[in-house]
Amino acid sequence: MSAKNSIDSTPEENEEPVILKLILVSSKTHEFSFSPMASASDVTQFVFENWPDDWSEDKVESSSMLKLIYHGRFLHGSVTLQALQLIPGKTTVMHLVTRENLPEPNSSETLTKRKSANCCRCVLS
């Protein structure tokens, strides 16, 4: 059920691509090859533009709805495959999911507000 597509350009002719095996929620898989300098948004845009025929039931309306999950974490669009220290020439497995917005990382201000919101302030007189 797996097939391969590769990105047309790599930064250098002798540079090995990073091979990503993407898994959908429906458990369908497909392999793609990318430059190590490709960002997560480059990957999702390429996959959207080269959507595999056997994934037709899972097609989305826009590449911005596609999100990558690696080691249990959503990848933000600007992170590159090289920054993730993926090994060129080796296959790396990632999940490809449909989600409109990524959750924001928790800030200390948000955590403080959540903790204080759960506190009851009763005054007995």
Tell me the per-residue pLDDT of 6-38, one tens digit each, with 9 for 90 and over: 544 344 567 799 999 999 999 999 999 999 999
Q: Which of 42, 28, 105, 102 is nearest to 78 (CA)?
A: 42
Q: 3-state DSSP call for residue 106?
A: coil
> Tell me, which fold does domain 4-117 have in CATH?
Ubiquitin-like (UB roll) (3.10.20)
Confidence of residue 56 (pLDDT cuts 50, 70, 90): very high
For residue 41, pLDDT over 90 is answered with yes
Percentage helix, strand, coil, to 5, in the chain?
A: 25, 25, 50
Can you give the pLDDT at residue 99? 82
- Positive or negative torsion for Cα 91, 27, 46, 44: negative
Q: Which of 1, 49, 48 is nearest to 21 (CA)?
A: 1
Q: 3-state DSSP call for residue 9?
A: coil
Can you give the pLDDT at residue 11? 42
d(C-alpha 75, C-alpha 80), whole Å:
9
Q: Where are the domains of the chain?
A: 4-117
Confidence of residue 1 (pLDDT cuts 50, 70, 90): very low
Tell me the per-residue pLDDT of 81-123, one tens digit each, with 9 for 90 and over: 999 999 999 999 999 999 866 556 665 555 555 555 555 556 6
Helix segments in 1-120, DSSP class H:
40-49, 108-117
